[in-house]
Amino acid sequence: MGGIGLEKDPWNVILTGVGGQGNVFASRMLAKMLAAKGLWVTIGETFGATQRGGSVMSHVRVSVDRRLLSPQIPKGAADWVVALEPLEALRVLEGFGSPEVRMVLNDRPVYPMGVIAGEMDYPTQEALRADLDALSKEAFWLDLTGIAKALGSPALASTAILGAFVAKSGLSLTKEDAFLALKDSIPEKKLASNLEAFEAGRLAAGA
């Protein structure tokens, strides 16, 4: 659909993570790439106090011709969840998942304050994987923070995960599209490393 491989219309994607991981940036970049293809896109999110170490979520909705879309995705209607932090994916599924949902996950945890303070436990990766497998159609785990660090900065994980998501979801978006979406919104010296991260994410996801 839409000449770009939309599986559904409207197509609903949730990007999630912890404040400061680049969630807002990633959702904007994805939306820009899709809008540049002539699609109608909305992003729903909140920012402000929630940035201070809290869970964050951006809802991206895409349609060929549909306007008047709620900026928040209805319950059970997420087609994809893209998680910069794996525990946040689980939280998203409780509200928006369904047996049909698919996921791309960065495997690097960010510990909540209660875990840092030694008061609560973060689940083991095995337990989390079992939960997420049971609640989704497919879940792709990747070490995107590792890829990003190798390229110079853990912050590049937000661009790398977009590359991985594009590859897994079959969107026909290329490095050139990423370049067009990024060139006016980030400083020039960061452009090359972000494009590299996008490409590295794509390759890591088997593109």
6-22 in b/e burial notation, b at 16+ Cβ within 10 A?
beeebbbbbbbbbbebb
Residue 9 contacts another protein per CB under 8 A: no
Residue 35 contacts another protein per CB under 8 A: yes
- Three-state DSSP at 119 gives coil
Binds another protein by CB under 8 A, chosen from 15, 41, 148, 160: 41
Instruction: Tell me 29's DSSP state.
Output: H
- Residue type at 58 in one-letter notation: S
Residue 131 contacts another protein per CB under 8 A: yes
Q: Dihedral through CA 134, CA 135, CA 136, CA 139, nearest 10?
A: -60
Binds another protein by CB under 8 A, chosen from 22, 23, 32, 200: 32
Q: Interface mask (CB under 8 A) for another protein, residues 132-171, using x and -? A: --xx------------------x-----------------
CB atoms within 10 A of CB 68: 7
| Chain positions contacting another protein, by CB under 8 A | 18, 28, 31-32, 35, 38, 40-50, 52-55, 67-72, 74-77, 87, 90-91, 93-94, 97-99, 111-123, 127-128, 131, 134-135, 154, 184
